[in-house]
Amino acid sequence: MSQTVEEIDLVYATVPQTGFADLIFDIQANNLPPSDSMLRGAVEFGVRRVVLISSGSDIYGVARLLPVNEEHSTNSNSLFGITKLAIEKYGLMFHRLTEL
C-alpha cells in the first residue's frame, strides 16, 4: 500500500504591517526564500500534496462582489498580500512543473 505524504504550510514570518517597514527583507529573506525551500524539499522528499494557507482579504483587496471566490481579481491593498500571492503562484508553478 502506498503512503500519501502531505504537508500543510501555516508559517509566515510577518504580518500585514511589517511588509511596509522592510519590503526587501520580506521578499529576500523572510518569506519567499523559505517557501521556495519548503516546496523544493517537498518535491525532493516525495511529498504529494502541500496546502498553502493564504490570507484572502490581503490578497484580493476590496471585494467587487460577494462572496469572494478564487476567481476574484487579486488587487492586494498591502505588500503582505502581494508576497502571499507570490507564494501561491510559486506553489502553482511547482504543481505544474513537478505534479506536487
Range of the domain at 71: 6-98
In a domain, 52, yes or no: yes
**Cα dihedral 75, 76, 79, 80 sign:** negative
In a domain, 32, yes or no: yes
The x, y and z cell numbers of residue 7, run together, are 504537508
**Would 82 be classed as within a structural domain?**
yes
Residue 1 lies in a domain: no
Alpha helices, DSSP H only, in 8-70? 16-21, 23-25, 32-44, 56-60
**CATH code for the domain of 43:** 3.40.50.720
- Averaged in consecutive runs of 10 residues, what is the pLDDT profile of the chain (100 residues)? 54 60 71 87 90 78 86 85 87 92
Please report the pLDDT score of residue 1 as a whole number.
46
Omega before 16 within 30 of 0, i.e. cis:
no
Number of domains in the chain: 1
